[in-house]
Amino acid sequence: MKISARNIFEGNISALTSGPVSAEVEIITAGGDKLVGTITQGSVASLGLAVGKPVVALIKASNVMVMTDGSGVKLSARNCLAGTVKKLLQGPVSAEVIIALPGGAEVFASITRDATNELGIKEGGPATAVIKASSVIIGVKS
């Protein structure tokens, strides 16, 4: 598979909750990170998802927010991955931030250049990737 999604994590399904339309999939990645994604129940059926099954989780960089200070607030976003800024690339309007996680994985975030300045994002500094569950795509090897 070759896809533009900058974030592709291998892992295994650790929990699965089904509703009439939506389903919630919890994954433990190879690096030990926990990811939660919401997909349609139709995809759960067509992919044959079940607890324990090996999967990949795909997340587009533009769906990743970067938080440099999480004090004082608890978020509904189910995925908050704390790490260190490995690389910052600034364009005139957009910017790309790569966050290295303790388990060895890296998270790519596309955010605005303004945000990188206001948050004081710099290489080597702490940062948390914040990802809403609805932004996660699940893939299985066919």
Residues 70-89 that bind a copy of itself (CB under 8 A): 70-78, 89
DSSP label of 92? S
Give the whole-angstrom CA distance, residue 50 versus residue 38.
14
CB nearer to a copy of itself: give 50 or 73.
Answer: 73
Our finding on whether 58 is near a copy of itself (CB under 8 A) is yes
Our finding on whether 13 is near a copy of itself (CB under 8 A) is no
CB nearer to a copy of itself: give 31 or 47.
Answer: 47
- Of 13, 20, 28, 30, which lies in the binding site for a copy of itself, with binding defined by CB under 8 A? 20
Our finding on whether 30 is near a copy of itself (CB under 8 A) is no
Our finding on whether 14 is near a copy of itself (CB under 8 A) is no
Residues from 86 through 125 that contact a copy of itself (CB under 8 A): 89-96, 108-112, 114-116, 118-119
Using DSSP's 3-state secondary structure scheme, residue 45 falls into helix
Closest approach, Cβ 14 to a copy of itself, in A, equals: 14
Our finding on whether 16 is near a copy of itself (CB under 8 A) is no
Residues 6+ apart with CB under 8 A from 88: 95, 96, 97, 98, 116, 121, 122, 123
Burial category of 71 from C-beta neighbours within 10 Å (exposed 0-12, middle 13-18, buried 19 and up) = exposed
| Under 8 Å between Cβ of 124 and 66 | no
